[in-house]
Structure 1
């Protein structure tokens, strides 16, 4: 069955199907925008159908603290148009962050692109240890996007360390974290993804890169954690691959109803 635009139409009934998310973990060529888009296309070419394809942080350049020469204009980005073409062709959402130039300055901006439109989130916690705060402007607003009956909240790398910013206000089902997280701190990455899933009673989808850049080495560790903090899907370490996993959103919502932790979160109690 297709819709009026000729795209595959899926009937979404709670409990009838799982929401499929695809993690694309790959070696990002340093500051080579077109080359990285080609690498992604090769990895996803043979993928089965998915609802959301997630790419790493700064997926067209690698993590650049100095954005001059690689930043795209926010209102005229070839990469966003490329994401839109992929979303249309594969009938899915495509999410990942790139470097853009705005009137206020450079942004580490995550785009969530569907066949019907574009939403974006600007990284709030800039990585001062790596010099990101010297060249980028921090975003001030969270983003929650509803797509195919599921509410998605994206964050970017360093944001993951800040539970107050990530706190589920009963407004999202899946947290997406795109990252350039170095191998030396990879156990912290896995622990934080599990912790954010447990405390927010959500799925967390963390997508990291592999390979090297001028500052260090990246081993991957892309994974999905369920609301109990269990790793239920992952990419192989040191490996370029795309892994698809079906999220049981209906089961997660049943768990929340039976064990309503979120209702007792800070800010909800009265003295």
Structure 2
């Protein structure tokens, strides 16, 4: 078990529906990380932007982006994660992929497809939560719109870190800020959100506001809004144990099951 986890949050603009250029841009950004890190987090749909033209940019789990992630993860000796459009058995998924340096892969299909943008008409919703065990840390990965649904993120697995990758627009950024902090506090867990910046082809503006919070909801980063940036935050297992043991809030949670 590793007591500390160093995580690089990459807040970036995205090139619309251009996986090759986005891979190239992220390769340069990742290469600029000179300090050792354990996990590198990219935004939602990091190869394309939040597009409903799934067929034009969809890949398979044997495609170029997965190979690229495997190679970079091994090279940097760090897990790399973000979501992209995957086609599988005739359906499209907004799939978060978590690639480890040894080549192992964990996945999570976005559960709450964003009906306001018609995502539910194009992408098949996931049916299962995921829990990643990495370096002795229990990690729950979620995607963008999932942030609005606290039951889905409820900490019944005793996870240590929950993170969200997103294309969350500027017009509703106050909800993003508020709910990220709330997820940390209510689950007594570190909570990280990585959002994009820039303007997409549909003229939606994205203002970043990527952030990291500790189990008490204290902000850990100094990431600026509206700018491309990379920031490394350090998470400490002892912080989780200290406050969970001292306060015991998770012991008093209501018991119920999703049906």
- TM-score, normalised relative to structure 1: 0.91
| 40-49 or 51-60: bigger deviation | 40-49
CA contact (8 A) 2:209 2:223 kept: yes
2:178 to 191, 196, 206: 191
Root mean square deviation, CA, Å: 1.2
Corresponding position: 1:150 with 2:133: no
| Paired position in structure 1 for 2:109 | 122
2:29 to 20, 40, 43: 43
User: For the structure 1 residues 203 and 34, does the alpha-carbon distance in structure 2 shift closer, same or farther, using more than 3 Å as the test?
Assistant: same
For residue 55 of structure 2, give the secondary structure of its aligned residue in structure 1.
coil
CA contact (8 A) 2:194 2:210 kept: yes
Cα offset, 1:170, TM superposition: 3.6
1:83 to 43, 59, 69: 69
CA contact (8 A) 2:2 2:135 kept: no
Give distance in 1, aligned partners of 2:235 and 2:110. Answer: 25
CA contact (8 A) 1:20 1:50 kept: yes
For residue 133 of structure 1, give the secondary structure of its aligned residue in structure 2.
helix
Cα offset, 1:13, TM superposition: 5.0
Cα offset, 1:104, TM superposition: 4.7
Stretches (4+) displaced over 4 A? none
2:166 to 179, 191, 201: 179
Number of residue equivalences: 253
Give distance in 1, aligned partners of 2:10 and 2:208. Answer: 10
CA contact (8 A) 1:170 1:262 kept: no
Give distance in 2, aligned partners of 1:125 and 1:13. Answer: 32
| Paired position in structure 2 for 1:136 | 123
Give distance in 2, aligned partners of 1:190 and 1:124. Answer: 21
| Paired position in structure 2 for 1:162 | 149
For residues 31-70 of structure 1, the aligned pairs below 5 Å read 31-47=17-33, 48-70=35-57
